Structure 1
Amino acid sequence: VSNFSRNIALWVIIALLVLALFNLFQGPGTQGSATTLAYSQFISEVESGQVRDVTIQGNTISGHYTGGTPFNSYAPNDPDMVRKLNQHGVTISAAPDEEGTPTLFAILLNWFPMLLLIGVWIFFMRQMQSGGGKAMGFGKSKARLLTERQGNVTFGDVAGIDEAKEELEEIVEFLKDPQKF
């Protein structure tokens, strides 16, 4: 696999992530072509018979005129609104309140498993590049073989070290009488 194809794959993954984040923030409730009405104007449109149907979601009212054009309005707590809509033959549907825009923490919490998998994947890709093509090369032993010249320590080498002498005396004493210890 060439370096060029790895770069292309990385850019494709980044583009997909950006697209997914864009769709996450876009949300299902975006209506670009709907006109926004004041509540008083909405009530007068209902009373004049120009409203076909409405969907009440919390305090938000969305609906269509008899011609099919969409509109949005914001309703105060008006207990007579549903009665007025029924009197004028408007089809009413209700929907639960939308939860607010997710916080950054909630987004990160939802994306954490995916980000963790991407991080592990990047880690293994880097290991494959540096480890001579072996995916599990990070556990290679770095032990070296000691030759006679490098590993030959004699009593003459440690003769001036008092701690080494005391440790050897303790070992000899232990070998003579292990019951003491």
Structure 2
Amino acid sequence: MADSKWLRSGFVWIVLIVAVIALWFTLVSGENEPTALSIGQVVAAVKAGEVERLVQVEDSREVTVEYTEAAGRQDARTTLPAETNVLDVLRNYGVDVAGQPETLVTITPASRWGAWLGAIGFLLPTLFLIGIFVFMMRQAQGS
């Protein structure tokens, strides 16, 4: 009987340790994150012809910078000033938007699932932890 109890508590500890390790790797691993650039650096790259596309999600200040293969740079990300869009910022910095290829600026629609995924991403781990605590409390009452 004691071995069965040790087995159950050992299993709980193993699950908790694996969960902590997974959380640690999720938070620490940022290798695939695009580098952050200032808007001035992005404009300089656009003027130099190194940028293939600027992708902005609708109603977002984040812009993904995709470089040409000739530039040999990794994709980057920049943040726009409040209440602006990519085209306005490029014009304000003196970039001739009409002289650029049509595919330079791409504004994609926002995901319909973004708010739901954010809520689920918060609620599921919270409910999981509550479930673990309730399970542990019930097990403690039984002994």
Report the TM-score when normalising by structure 2: 0.57
Determine if the alignment matches structure 1 residue 5 to structure 2 residue 7.
yes
Would you identify which runs of 4 or more consecutive aligned residues in structure 1 move more than 6 Å?
A: none
Residue in structure 1 matched with residue 90 of structure 2 by the alignment: 81
**Given that residues 42 and 65 in structure 2 are in contact (C-alpha distance below 8 angstroms), is that contact kept between their aligned partners in structure 1?**
no
- Give the drift of 1:59: 1.9
Aligned length: 119
Measured in 2, the distance between the counterparts of 1:92 and 1:127 equals 59
Unaligned runs of 5+ in 2: none
Residue in structure 2 matched with residue 69 of structure 1 by the alignment: 74
Structure showing greater radius of gyration is 1
Unaligned runs of 5+ in 1: 131-181
Aligned-residue Cα RMSD (Å) equals 3.8
Determine if the alignment matches structure 1 residue 120 to structure 2 residue 134.
yes
Measured in 1, the distance between the counterparts of 2:100 and 2:8 equals 64
- Give the drift of 1:50: 0.9
Residue in structure 2 matched with residue 45 of structure 1 by the alignment: 45
**Given that residues 46 and 88 in structure 1 are in contact (C-alpha distance below 8 angstroms), is that contact kept between their aligned partners in structure 2?**
no
Higher RCO, 1 or 2 (CA under 8 Å, sep at least 6)?
Answer: 2
